[in-house]
Amino acid sequence: MSINNDILDRIDKIILQNIKIHKITGASISVIDNEAMIYSKGFGFADKAN
């Protein structure tokens, strides 16, 4: 399975909106299909001080 760019853009938008709304420093997401990672991305910062 592959994810088209429209779906990836929607995922990114939802994550970024929630980071802003909930004041989250950083987040990561992975999508797994049939035991294979088909998408993985990090958002924000691991260390708020830096």
pTM equals 0.73
Q: DSSP assignment, residue 25?
A: S
Q: What's residue 40's pLDDT?
A: 94
| Cβ-based neighbours of 15, under 8 Å, separated by 6 or more | 27, 29, 41, 43
Q: What's residue 4's pLDDT?
A: 84
Average pLDDT per 10 consecutive residues for the chain, totaling 50 residues: 83 93 92 91 80
Of 46, 47, 38, residue with least CA distance to 11: 38
Report the C-alpha gap between 10 and 40 in whole angstroms. 14
Q: What's residue 15's pLDDT?
A: 93
Q: What's residue 47's pLDDT?
A: 74
Q: What's residue 50's pLDDT?
A: 62
Q: What's residue 46's pLDDT?
A: 73
